[in-house]
Each structure stands twice: as structure tokens, then as C-alpha cells.
């Protein structure tokens, strides 16, 4: 199991959950009830799966593609450590991955 920590926009820890290698972070977030819409379900046609990755973990991720960078340019509250959750695939190296949900994320599950 790979531990993933989801933090609220204010930085406080919301959920700590387990994921499997090969699982997309977006799917882990959905299973954990996180307010990430992921409107295009991972085909990189939106930026509603935007997350802000902990600096230490960000360095472990493969670089974003040009398409992902273009979408992140459109994302509200994007930072230098922003990534799209649908493009992050869990691996053992990412154990204890910490991400923050940006302030503009709408909680579409719970209003």
C-alpha cells in the first residue's frame, strides 16, 4: 500500500488513505471523497483535477507533458508545484505522497 495524504486548501490534513501502485491519484482522490471534479475523467481536457503537490514529493514525479503544462496554465490557484491528479500514477517511490486541494475546488459530492 502506498500512503497518500490529502490536505485541505488551508493545509490541514483531511484524509490519509492507501493506494496501489499503478493507480491514478485522481481515482484515489475520488475514493477518498476529495472534492476534485475530474470533469474529463483523465483525458486532459479540463483542469478540474488540479492538486498542489508537496515540494519533496513533487521532485519525485516525472515531468509534466506539454499538454499538462498548458492545462495547468489555465488552472485557478496554480503554483510551481501544481500537477493534474489524473496524470499522477502511484508507485512505491511516492509512498507518503502529500497533496493539497486548491482553494477553488468545489466539493461536488457534499455541496
- Binding residue for ligand FES, selected from 51, 86, 97, 105, defined by CB under 6 A: 86
Contacts of 107 (CB under 8 A, 6+ apart): 35
Which of 21, 12, 6, 18 shows the shortest CA–CA distance to 51? 6
Stretch of residues binding ligand FES (CB under 6 A), selected from 15-23, 37-45, 56-64, 103-111: 37-45
C-alpha cell at 99: 497533496
Q: How far is the CB of 76 from ligand FES (least distance, A)?
A: 14
Q: How far is the CB of 13 from ligand FES (least distance, A)?
A: 23
What's the N-to-C CA distance of the chain in angstroms?
30
Q: How far is the CB of 92 from ligand FES (least distance, A)?
A: 23
Amino acid at each position: 500500500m502506498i500512503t497518500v495524504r490529502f490536505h485541505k486548501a488551508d493545509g490541514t490534513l483531511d484524509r490519509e488513505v492507501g493506494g496501489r501502485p499503478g493507480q491514478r491519484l485522481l481515482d484515489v482522490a475520488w475514493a477518498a471523497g476529495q472534492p476534485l471534479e475530474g470533469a474529463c475523467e483523465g483525458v486532459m481536457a479540463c483542469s478540474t483535477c488540479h492538486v498542489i503537490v508537496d515540494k519533496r514529493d513533487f521532485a519525485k514525479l516525472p515531468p509534466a507533458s506539454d499538454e499538462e503544462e498548458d492545462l495547468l496554465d489555465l488552472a485557478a490557484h496554480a503554483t510551481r508545484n501544481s500537477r493534474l491528479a489524473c496524470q499522477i500514477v502511484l508507485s512505491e517511490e511516492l509512498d507518503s505522497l502529500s497533496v493539497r486541494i486548491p482553494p477553488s475546488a468545489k466539493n461536488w459530492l457534499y455541496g
